[in-house]
Amino acid sequence: MVKPRPVLRAVGELANAANGVQPLARKGYVTIPVFFLGWPTSELAPLFLTASVLDTARRYWRGHFAGRRGAVALALNAITWGVLVFLQRRNVRSEPVFEAGLRETLGADYESVTAKSPTPRRRSGVFRTGWSRRRYTEKAVRYGPHRANTADIWRRADLPRDGKAPVVLQVPGGAWAIGMRRPQAYPLLSHLAERGWVCVSIGYRVSPRHTWPAHIVDVKRALAWIQEHIAEYGGDPDFVTITGGSAGGHLTALAALTPNDPQFQPGFADADTSVKAAVPVYGRYDWVGKEGTGRPEFIAFLQRFVVRKSFARNRQLYVDASPIARLRPDAPPFFVLHGQDDSIIPVPEGREFVDALRKVSTSPVAYVEVPHAQHAFDFFGSPRGHYTGQAIERFLSWVYATRTSSSTAADTTVVDASRADTAQQP
């Protein structure tokens, strides 16, 4: 029979809760287990709290807390519960940060130019968000020749087939080695679909079986497929945007900054792969720089698993894959989000990319640094996950509204000029 060891178990639970408050390590490969343990705790504190209370009650009635050690364990459990309550309250209170980032860049009255979003028909929580794919996914499609080239089409069932709804391409993360589209970004996808967007959530070829640039080629291929087929699902091929987190954030930024680049479009160089806006979330933007926390380990990972070519002998390949090296004045509007406590991709990488892009791009570059957020903070149906989805929808809706109004104004000018010319004819 296994000995209960209540104190040891209580210490472990407290350490995990503390790791959710702030990562216990930020350097070296130990950051990986630190992330995987602290990430769900920081976003799903109520579930951990409920599970801990019920388990403690079960073990209490079994006599696991007898004696002085049992009393110490109970005291430690009580502290853990307090920490979990603190985590949830901190998470809930982060909403104003998202709005502040948008207002700083787009203006205090930016929502006045967008159509008012309808009230959600359903309130979403963690479990409801997890089931959202069943509500909104119409079908899985194949967008390219490879086995991994599959995508889910998210749309409301009542969306008109000829509605020309705005479109977003969702690119999953996973260190260029996982690339699973399910269940990533469900809070965002369900929020956009509910508001009348058509969303395309893709999978793509991953490493080490497939080497770079297969990943970005597949993203470009998905954009080409959208141009050709999205109208069949009620989407507007003339308004396509892109988003993704982590490795998907890198691919999002790179795709937005390399429109129609034949280097990444083998066999479909004539396809239009431009986007109207990009929203990279906690992404990697620099494959070259070696300075900073975790950079040497990251370059080593790329050489061994993703690119599988020497950095020293193939440096240009790494440069070409770096969004921060592909900045351009005509870049589309960007909205960059990054967690302040990200232990996988430290937040300075997001800050540096935003600063560099703002110096070059003539389009708006909004930025939100989410306080106390770990990597992948938008994964679950947590408060921060929903705040992220809402903020991205507001940004993309602003881009859509301003572009639509600009196009209408331009068309009106052309019509007025034509009428003036006609009036002047004898």
Q: Which residues are catalytic?
A: 246, 342, 375
Give the number of other Cβ atoms within 10 Å of residue 11's Cβ: 15
Give the number of other Cβ atoms within 10 Å of residue 327's Cβ: 18
CA angle 205, 208, 211 (to 5 degrees): 60
CB 173 within 8 A of CB 245: yes
CB 374 within 8 A of CB 34: no
Question: 162 is written with which tokens?
Answer: 């000829």
What's the full length of the chain, in residues?
426
Task: Give which of 33, 81, 102, 34 is closest to 341, Cα–Cα.
Answer: 34
CB 399 within 8 A of CB 333: yes
Which phi and psi (to 5°) does residue 276 adopt?
A: -90, -15
Report DSSP state, residue 363: S
Which residue is it, tokens 């359903």?
122
Q: To which H or E segment does residue 51 belong?
A: helix 45-61
Question: 186 is written with which tokens?
Answer: 């469900």
CA gap 203, 181 in Å, rounded: 5
Question: 377 is written with which tokens?
Answer: 């903070």
Q: What is the side-by-side order of every strand in the sheet holding 334-339?
A: 137-142, 150-154, 198-202, 165-171, 235-245, 278-281, 334-339, 365-370
What HEC string does 381-401 produce?
CCHHHHHHHHHHHHHHHHHHH
CB 223 within 8 A of CB 258: no
Q: How far is Cα of residue 272 from the mean position of the Cα atoms in its chain?
A: 23
CA gap 291, 169 in Å, rounded: 32
Calculate the alpha carbon distances from 54 to 2, 51, 81, 332 in Å: 20, 5, 12, 50
